[in-house]
Amino acid sequence: MGADTIGSQTVPLYYRQIRRNDIPALFAVRTATRENRFTLGELRTAGITEKSVAAMLEETHSGWLCEEEGRALGFAMADESTGELWVIAVLPEAEGRGIGTELLRRGEERLREVGHGVLWLYTSVDPALRAYGFYLTHGWAEAGVENGELRMEKRLQ
């Protein structure tokens, strides 16, 4: 849990496991990101639906949600079966508050707990996008381009 100060009030950020009833909020966040945004149609075309995400969370993936006063600000999911950090998404107005860093930490920690020594993810090949620098700053390294996407890896110690 973290907190931000707004005026003289401290507004807590809550991090918790994703629950099935959070899934619509995940899609709202994912389709509102500033960079690497997807529409609902593009997600459906890629096979990413509320039903498929529910199945992933039940079978192979762990997920974490960051919320503030009951509103989803960001989330992450990691595939425990492969060691892939599958997604981190944060609303544009919540960027710069450490939410992505905390979600990344939780994903890395869980993948380590289930026995993965090398973690991996795909991101845009465009180094001008924030994600590229974000992952480099957190110890990830380029591992090649596959199907037009940059594969990054992180070796755990």
Task: State percent of the chain over pLDDT 70.
Answer: 94
Element (H, E) at 113: helix 99-113
pLDDT at residue 7, as a whole number: 53
Instruction: At 42, list the tokens.
Output: 């593009």
Amino acid found at 151: R
> Where does residue 155 fall: left (phi above 0), alpha (psi -120 to 50 degrees), or beta otherwise?
beta
Cα–Cα distance for residue pair 4/45, rounded to 1 Å: 37
pLDDT at residue 3, as a whole number: 57
**Helices and strands in the chain, H and E counts:** 5, 8
Cα–Cα distance for residue pair 55/57, rounded to 1 Å: 5
- Sites in the chain below the pLDDT cut of 50: 1
Task: List all residues 6 or more positions away from 22 whose beta carbon is below 8 Å from its beta carbon.
Answer: 65, 72, 75
Cα–Cα distance for residue pair 23/50, rounded to 1 Å: 6
Contact 92, 33 (CB under 8 A): yes
pLDDT at residue 36, as a whole number: 80
pLDDT at residue 4, as a whole number: 53
State the pTM of this model. Answer: 0.89
pLDDT at residue 39, as a whole number: 86
pLDDT at residue 11, as a whole number: 75
